[in-house]
Amino acid sequence: MMKRFHVVFISLLILAMSVSYGNTFYQFFGEDGAVSSGNSIQQTQDGGYIIVGSTTVKEDASGYPYDKDILLIKTDSNGNEEWSKTFGGDISGLGSCSGWEDHVKDYDVGNSVIEVNDSYGYGYVIVGYTNCYGSCGDADMWLIKTDSNGDTCDYGSSGECVDESAGTWVRKYGESSGNDIGNDVIQTTDGGYVITGSTRSYSSDGYRDAWVIKVDGFGNYKYSGHFGNNAANEVGYSILEHDYGYIVCGSAWDASMLNQAWVFSIGLSGNSMYQDSSPVDAKFGDEGNDACHSIQKTSDGSYIMTGKISVTTGFGSKPDLFVHKLGDNGWSDYKLFGGDGEDVGYAISETNDGTNYIISGATSSIGVNYSVENWGDFNAYAAWLLKTKQG
């Protein structure tokens, strides 16, 4: 399953590749003048694709987007749009907050989407965040269940609703004391869902902790855990279910206040979570802003992951896309891809024959005019899709 890709254009560009037949296509989505992004994609049971991200609804006088809504797009197998939906609120309903008008924007963003099949039939579950229903613009994690047409219940001014007759619902999680973000969601074997992201509301020191929440099939909160060290920022970007709990990959500060890629496992004891070193608790990368963005289980029972690891080049310390595998014999298949620019992996999947990996990401090293002057300029980045052999 190809999941998250983070590339923003004036319109939304979807690039897909069929591993079996080698067919390629590309499509643009979005209204003229809108800034749209695709943050997650999954192939659906009918052979099409479901994509989630965000789109600009309004801009301020300088053209900066101040009202973003979640954008959900369904396409056929050739990438032709079948329908699209938006979800969002209005921050003006928060009332009077001292100073918030100067810095807070209406942001509703979808970071991950999955297709689900339950007693109501096929539908979609989106996770991301909204800052339209919290305190003075602080973001809450937002979880949305739609039907097969992308429709959900009326969440009105509260940002939440349940329609038991249709099996659709909208839930938010978090408190008013900080930003709480959802980055990834999976359906669990019991029919519920587990989400990972980050929380400031439940952190004891005001920094971000990696956050994992378990909910039932209607999004009702069951239990959660937040993980991290004191005076440090930690984030969960991707999550898997395993025999004894969950495996999360993300990022964590080290003692030098630099981000390291972080992969850790969570054990379950009744309705509580705890950090468990088995099967994994590892950090890697020590030169800069490193992170693990995606983890998947392979056909041999191992775990494969991708993200970014900083390396020293002629232009200084820049991230390379990494591929790393964890199996019964420890870590293997450690590979770096990139050049003098920034190279990041956002999603990884094993091919159907179990011999290769497909990675999607972004690069400013390959296929673009890289220089010191335009490094960091968003226009210098290109979408990147690559295939590499195992071993």
Rounded to an integer, the average pLDDT of 63-90 is 85
pLDDT tens per residue, range 22-38: 456 667 776 666 667 78
Show me where the domains of the chain are located: 100-389
- Among 52-66, 95-109, 116-130, 150-164, which is the least confidently predicted range? 95-109
Give Dmax (Cα) for the chain.
Answer: 61
Q: What is the DSSP string of 41-81?
A: EEE-TTS-EEEEEEEEEEE-TTS-EEEEEEEEEEE-TTS-E
pLDDT tens per residue, range 134-154: 666 688 999 999 999 999 999
Burial 103-142 (b: 16+ CB within 10 A, else e): ebebbbbbbbbbbbeeebeebbbbbbbbbbbbbebbbbbb
Q: Is the dihedral of CA 178, 306, 6, 195 positive or negative?
A: negative
Looking at residue 56, its pLDDT comes to 79
Dist CA 231 CA 98 (whole Å): 27
Token representation of residue 194:
């587990």
Please list, in sequence order, all residues whose beta carbon lies within 8 angstroms of the beta carbon of residue 211, skipping any fewer than 6 positions away: 141, 180, 195, 196, 197, 198, 199, 202, 224, 225, 226, 227, 236
Q: What is the pTM of this model?
A: 0.86
In DSSP terms, 358 is beta-bridged to 349, 387
Cβ(364)–Cβ(382) below 8 Å: yes
Q: Is the pLDDT of residue 58 over 90?
A: no
pLDDT tens per residue, range 223-243: 999 998 776 889 999 999 988
Helix then strand then coil, % of the chain, to nearest 5: 5, 60, 40
Highest mean pLDDT among 9-18, 163-172, 263-272, 305-314: 163-172
- Among 17-21, 54-58, 179-183, 377-381, which is the least confidently predicted range? 17-21
3-class state of residue 35 by DSSP: coil
Rounded to an integer, the average pLDDT of 116-135 is 91
Cβ(34)–Cβ(53) below 8 Å: no
Q: Is the pLDDT of residue 19 over 50?
A: no
| Alpha carbon distances (Å) from 31 to 9, 18, 49 | 11, 27, 20
Q: What is the DSSP string of 124-158?
A: EEEEEEESSSSSTT--EEEEEEEETTS-----TTT
What backbone phi and psi angles, to 5 degrees, belong to 46? -90, 5
Q: pLDDT averaged over the chain?
A: 81
Looking at residue 195, its pLDDT comes to 98
Q: Per the omega criterion (within 30 degrees of 0), is the bond before 319 cis?
A: no
CATH for 100-389?
2.120.10
